[in-house]
Chain A
Amino acid sequence: EAQVTQNPRYLITVTGKKLTVTCSQNMNHEYMSWYRQDPGLGLRQIYYSMNVEVTDKGDVPEGYKVSRKEKRNFPLILESPSPNQTSLYFCASAGGGYSNQPQHFGDGTRLSIL
């Protein structure tokens, strides 16, 4: 089954404790992206990757890091999480290497930073 898998689905942690949210897709997609969803703000793009070893900032990259060492994986790293990063996070992938193709989303990761 074609899918985007995020882990963990829920996480409560404390300010400053490094964390990683993993994202994996099994569709051989070139384009992968991370979003955060906050009430009234929709989905905002954090980082995206157009292929292996190619990553770039979206609209809200501050406080986040990503890497794309393999095509299927695109982890999101919070080196020193802060309460304003409490949010619902989605990973997505798309074929073709660009954002102008249908994106497939994971089921989300709810992060709470205390």
Chain B
Amino acid sequence: GENVEQHPSTLSVQEGDSAVIKCTYSDSASNYFPWYKQELGKGPQLIIDIRSNVGEKKDQRIAVTLNKTAKHFSLHITETQPEDSAVYFCAATYSSASKIIFGSGTRLSIRP
């Protein structure tokens, strides 16, 4: 079946440094790649997404890059702040955009 692998599973960075989370997907027909942030006791919230016709997208301190040839995409957070501490999930659509599969998550901790 289709698969999305996410690394690392945990990440600790100093406040102000950058954090990078990487995902690979298996379905070459996937065309939508969202990233969600989940805070304790809450449902996931979309923070940024990218479509297959774009290589990079930025929104303030957050950016996502997509390499379709290698079938991987990455989340970059710059100038990290304490409120960035959360679990982050990548995802990819498949089966003609009827289904979606999530990575296993990355717990990001920001050290003061």
Contacts and interface: CB of A to CB of B under 8 A. Distances in A.
The B interface is mostly helix, strand or loop, or mixed, namely strand
A107 B43 CA distance: 4
A95 interface: no
Interface of A: 4, 33, 35, 40-45, 48, 50, 56, 58-59, 90, 92, 98-103, 105-108
Contacts of A107: 41-43
B31 A100 contact: yes
Interface of B: 1, 6, 9, 31-32, 34, 36, 41-46, 49, 51, 89, 91, 93, 97-105
Ordered nearest first, which 8 A-B pairs have the shortest CB separation? Answer: A105-B43, A100-B32, A99-B100, A100-B97, A43-B102, A42-B104, A98-B97, A42-B102
A81 B100 CA distance: 25
Contacts of B1: 59
A111 B6 CA distance: 26
A58 B94 CA distance: 11
Nearest to B1: A59
A50 B98 contact: yes
B44 A48 contact: no
Contact of A99 (B32, B43, B104): B32
Nearest to A108: B43
Nearest to B52: A100
A35 B100 CA distance: 10
